[in-house]
Structure 1
Amino acid sequence: MTKLHPTLAYHLSATLGWQQLRPLQEEFLKSFSPDCDALLVAPTAGGKTEAALFPLLTVMAEQGWQGLSVLYICPLKALLNNLEPRIAQYAGWLGRTVRLWHGDTSVTRRQAILRNPPDILLTTPESLESMLISASVDHRRLLSGVRSVVIDEVHAFAKDDRGWHLLCVLERIARLTGRPLQRIGLSATVGDPSGLLAWLQGAGRRPAQVVEPAIESAVGPPEIELDRVGNLANAAKIISMLHHGEKRLVFCDSRQTVEELGEALRKLGVTVFLSHASLSANERRRAEEAFSQARDCVIVATSTLELGIDVGDLDRVIQINSPWSVSSFLQRLGRTGRRPGQVRNCLLLTLSEEDTLTAAGLLLLWSTGYVEPSLPPPNPRHIVAQQVLALALQEGAIGDALWRDWWNGHWLFDPAATQPIMQHLLAKGYLRRDGHNLLIGEKAEQDFGRRHFMELMASFTAPPEFTVLQGGKEIGRCDPMLLTRAVQGPRLLLLAGRTWQVDWIDWKRRRCHVLPIEGTGGIARWSTTSSFAMSFALARAIRQVVLGEDPPVRLTHRAARALATARAELADVAAPDRTIVVRSGHDVLWWTWAGTRVNATLKASLGSLADPCARPDDLYIRLRNDLDAVTWREVGRSLHRLADPEVDSRAVHGLKFSAALPSDLAASTLAARLADRDNAWKVLNEPCIFSQSA
Structure 2
Amino acid sequence: MSDLELLHPTLAHHVVNTLGWPSLRPLQREALRPLADGEDAVLLAPTAGGKTEAALFPLLSAMARHQWTGVSVVYVCPIKALLNNLLPRVERYAGWLGRRVALWHGDVTSAARAAILRDLPDILLTTPESLESMLVSTKVDHTVVFAGVRAVVVDEVHAFAGDDRGWHLLCVLERLTRVTRRPIQRVGLSATVGNPVELLDWLQGSSRGRRAARVVEPEPSGQALDRPPPGDVELDHVGSVANAAKVVASLHRGEKRLVFCDSRRLVEELGAHLRALGVTTFLSHASLSAEERRRAEQAFGEERDCVIVATSTLELGIDVGDLDRVIQIDAPATVAAFLQRVGRTGRRPGSRRNCLFLALDHAGLVQAAGLLLLWGRHWVEPVTPPPEPRHIVAQQLLALCLQEFRVGDRSWAEWWAGLEPFGPAAAPILNHLVAAGYIDTDDGMMFIGPAAEAAFGTRHFMALTTVFTAAPQFTVLHGRTEIGRTDPSLLCDREEGPRLLLLAGRSWRVTWVDWKRRRCHVEAVERGGRARWQSADRSYGGSYALVQAMREVLLGADPPVRLTHRAEKALAEARDDHLDVVHPGGTIIARGDDVRWWTWAGYRANVTLRSTFASVADPRQQVTDAYLRLRTDITPQAWSSAVRDAVQGLTLPTPDAKALEGLKFGAALPPRLAERTLAVRLADFAGAAAVLDQPQRFVTYPGR
TM-score normalized by structure 1? 0.97
How far 1:572 sits from its partner (Å)?
A: 2.2
Structure 1: 4+ residue segments shifted above 6 A: 216-219
- Pairwise CA RMSD: 1.5
Segment drifting more, 528-537 vs 209-218: 209-218
Q: d(CA) in 1 for partners of 2:538 and 2:696? A: 30
Counterpart Cα distance in 1 of 2:229 and 2:633: 56
1:567 to 575, 586, 589: 575
Deviations 1:602-621 (A, max 9, x none): 11001111111112210111
Are residues 433 and 666 of structure 1, via their aligned partners in 2, closer, same or farther at CA, if it must alter by over 3 Å? same
Q: State which drifts further: 94-103 or 39-48.
A: 39-48
Match for 1:690: what amino acid? Answer: F
Matched, 1:115 2:122: no
Given that residues 616 and 638 in structure 2 are in contact (C-alpha distance below 8 angstroms), is that contact kept between their aligned partners in structure 1?
no
Q: SS in structure 1 opposite 2:531?
A: coil
Deviation at 1:590, TM superposition (A): 1.2
Alignment of 1:476-487 (within 5 A): 476-487=484-495
Partner of 1:344: 353
> Is 1:272 the equivalent of 2:281?
yes
- Corresponding residue for residue 467 of structure 2: 459
Unaligned residue ranges in structure 1 (runs of 5+): none
Query: Do 1:245 and 1:297's aligned partners in 2 also have CA atoms closer than 8 Å?
Result: yes
Alignment: residue pair count: 691
Whether 1:40 aligns to 2:78 is no
Distance 1:636 1:98, change over 3 A: same
Q: Secondary structure at the match of 1:171?
A: helix
Match for residue 656 of structure 2?
648
Identify the match of residue 382 of structure 1 among 381, 391, 406.
391
Aligned residue type for 1:89? R
* 1:427 pairs with 2:435: yes
* Residue aligned with 2:193, SS: coil
Once the two structures are superposed, residues 153-196 of structure 1 have per-residue CA deviations (whole angstroms, 9 ceiling, x without a partner) of 01001111111001000000000001121110001121101111
SS in 2 for 1:450: coil
- Partner Cα distance (1:323, 1:87) in 2: 31
State the distance in 1 between where 2:73 and 2:152 align.
6
Is there any run of 5+ residues in structure 2 with no aligned partner, and where? none
Q: CA deviation at 1:13?
A: 2.0
Deviation at 1:631, TM superposition (A): 3.3
Offset at residue 461 of structure 1 (A):
1.2
Given that 1:629 and 1:690 are in contact with CA atoms closer than 8 Å, whether structure 2 keeps it comes out as no
Separation in 1, partners of 2:570, 2:473: 39
Per the alignment, residue 342 of structure 2 pairs with 333
Measured in 1, the distance between the counterparts of 2:160 and 2:228 equals 32
1:68, 1:121 within 8 Å by CA — same for their partners in 2? yes
**Distance apart, 1:321 and its partner CA:** 0.5
Three-state SS of the structure 1 residue aligned to 2:174 is: helix
In the TM superposition, what is the alpha-carbon distance from 1:643 to its structure 2 partner? 0.6
Aligned to 2:194: 191
Distance between the aligned counterparts of 2:700 and 2:515, measured in 1? Answer: 58
- 1:324 and 2:333 are equivalent in the alignment: yes
- Aligned partner of 2:590: which letter? V
Task: Output one character per residue of 1:500-530: Cα deviation in whole Å (capped at 9) or x when no partner.
Answer: 222323333222222223x111121111232
The letter of the residue matching 2:103 is L
SS at match of 1:571: coil
1:125 alignment partner, one of 123, 128, 143: 128
Q: Which residue of 1 aligns with 2:313?
A: 304
1:80–1:577 distance in 2 versus 1, CA, 3 Å? farther
Q: CA deviation at 1:396?
A: 0.6
The alignment partner of 1:202 has SS state of helix
| C-alpha separation in 2, matches of 1:368 and 1:615 | 32
Give the conservation status (yes or no) of the 8 Å contact 1:222–1:343. no
Counterpart code for 1:116: D
Counterparts of 1:579 and 1:500 in 2: how far apart (Å)? 49
Once the two structures are TM-superposed, the CA of residue 218 in structure 1 deviates from its matched residue by 9.1
Deviation at 1:381, TM superposition (A): 0.2
- Is the 1:384–1:413 Cα contact (8 Å) retained in structure 2? yes
CA 1:608/1:637 → structure 2, altered by over 3 Å: closer, same or farther? closer
Q: 1:449 aligns with which of 454, 457, 474?
A: 457
Q: Within 2, Cα distance between the matches of 1:591 and 1:213?
A: 43
- The separation in 2 between residues aligned to 1:678 and 1:498, in whole angstroms, is 46
Tell me the CA shift for residue 492 of structure 1.
Answer: 2.0
- Give the drift of 1:574: 1.4
Distance 1:400 1:538 in 2: 46
Work out whether 1:589 is the aligned partner of 2:592.
no
Partner of 2:172: 169
Q: Is contact 1:601-1:676 (8 Å) kept?
A: yes
Return 345-354 or 623-632, whichever deviates more.
623-632
Shift of 1:220: 4.7
Compute the displacement of 1:548 (Å): 0.6
Distance 1:5 1:33 in 2: 11
Match runs of 1:284-683 below 5 Å: 284-414=293-423, 416-517=424-525, 519-532=526-539, 533-584=541-592, 586-639=593-646, 640-683=648-691
CA distance in 1 between partners of 2:117 and 2:567 (Å): 58
Cα distance change, pair 528–573 in 1 and its aligned pair in 2 (3 A)? closer
Q: Does 1:14 align with 2:23?
A: no
TM superposition shift of 1:229: 0.7
- Distance (Å, rounded) in 2 between the aligned partners of 1:329 and 1:218: 10
Q: Which amino acid aligns with 1:553?
A: V
1:99 maps to which residue? 102
Contact between 2:281 and 2:309, CA under 8 Å: does it hold in 1?
A: yes
Change (3 A) 1:116 1:232: same
2:236 alignment partner, one of 223, 227, 231: 227
More deviation, 23-32/393-402: 23-32
